[in-house]
């Protein structure tokens, strides 16, 4: 029985037939830039393409081949990302695929917005808010019913997973505006006791010191989690 030849990643992902054999130099690349969903390290005649999803191996390529390369289904990404994109059947699945595809390409210092004002997502049969869906997809976690995804940047429309934290039940008493103020005050290194007093003055609501301390703990954990980056 004849076996089919194994196609090169350049052929599968970028439509390059008969790729030129290339040797990747040992010295540092002369240029680094982003192309589609790839981080490209380029030399005089060769380059490596690293998909920002972090799920595939680097793809070596001759610069001559890259000049005639084009994305499959309109995206320049690895074979894993392309297969996932082809399987998407809903807007939620497309958003989840985009988040996974750009896992290490999302800028931590910028807000992130959806192209559409989607208020509800349906993921694996469950209805959830966009923040919850994005947070779970990006960090690869399953949140429980007691977990609440909160914004840390003060912009309720922002869906950057690096601008989110998970709050437990104590945060249920805290409105989004109060959460924004608490985050700002924690960033300013204001003492938790003082934050309790500030909340009482501004919102006429009594919040326990224990609640603020728990939120502070979760805020620190969230900051530690988002400090890593694989790009």
Per-residue pLDDT tens for 159-188? 999 999 887 654 456 777 888 888 889 889
- pTM of the complete model: 0.65
For residue range 81-131, list pLDDT tens digits in order. Answer: 999 999 999 888 999 999 999 999 999 999 998 766 666 788 777 788 888
Residue 117 is predicted with a pLDDT of 60
Residue 56 is predicted with a pLDDT of 92
Residue 49 is predicted with a pLDDT of 96
The three-state (H, E, C) secondary structure of the chain, written as one string: CCCCCCCCHHHHHHCCCCCCCCCCCCCCCCEEEEECCEEEEECCCEEEEEECCCCCCCEEEEHHHHHCCCCECCECCCHHHHHHHHHCCCHHHHHHHHHHHCCCCCCCCCCCCCCCCCCCEEECCEEECHHHHHHHHHHCCCCCCCCEEEECCCCCCCCCHHHEEEECHHHHHCCHHHHHHHHHHHHCCCCHHHHHHHHHHHHCCCCCHHHHHHHHHHHHHHHHHCCCCCC
**34 has a pLDDT exceeding 90:** yes
**77 has a pLDDT exceeding 80:** yes
For residues 148-159, give the mean pLDDT: 86
For residue range 112-126, list pLDDT tens digits in order. Answer: 987 666 667 887 777
**51 has a pLDDT exceeding 80:** yes
Residue with tokens 């005639």: 68
């Amino acid at each position: 029985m004849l076996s089919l030849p194994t196609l090169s990643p350049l052929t599968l992902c970028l439509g390059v037939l008969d790729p030129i054999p290339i040797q990747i130099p040992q010295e540092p690349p002369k240029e680094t830039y982003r192309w589609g969903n790839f981080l490209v390290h380029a030399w005089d005649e060769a380059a490596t393409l690293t998909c920002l999803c972090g799920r595939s191996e680097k793809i070596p390529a001759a610069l001559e081949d890259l000049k005639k390369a084009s994305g499959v289904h309109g995206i320049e990404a690895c074979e894993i990302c392309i297969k996932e994109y082809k399987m998407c059947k809903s807007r939620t699945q497309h958003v989840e695929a985009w988040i996974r595809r750009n896992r290490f390409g999302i800028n931590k210092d910028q807000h992130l917005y959806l192209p559409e004002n989607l208020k509800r997502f349906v993921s694996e049969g469950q209805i959830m808010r966009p923040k919850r869906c994005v947070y779970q997809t990006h960090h690869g976690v399953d949140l429980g019913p007691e977990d609440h995804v909160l914004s840390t940047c003060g912009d309720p429309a922002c869906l950057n997973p690096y601008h989110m934290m998970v709050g437990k039940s104590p945060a249920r008493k805290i409105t989004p505006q109060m959460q924004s103020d608490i985050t700002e005050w924690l960033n300013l290194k204001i003492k938790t006791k003082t934050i309790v007093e500030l909340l009482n003055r501004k919102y006429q609501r009594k919040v326990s010191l224990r609640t603020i301390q728990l939120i502070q703990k979760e805020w620190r954990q969230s900051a530690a989690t988002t400090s890593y980056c694989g790009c």
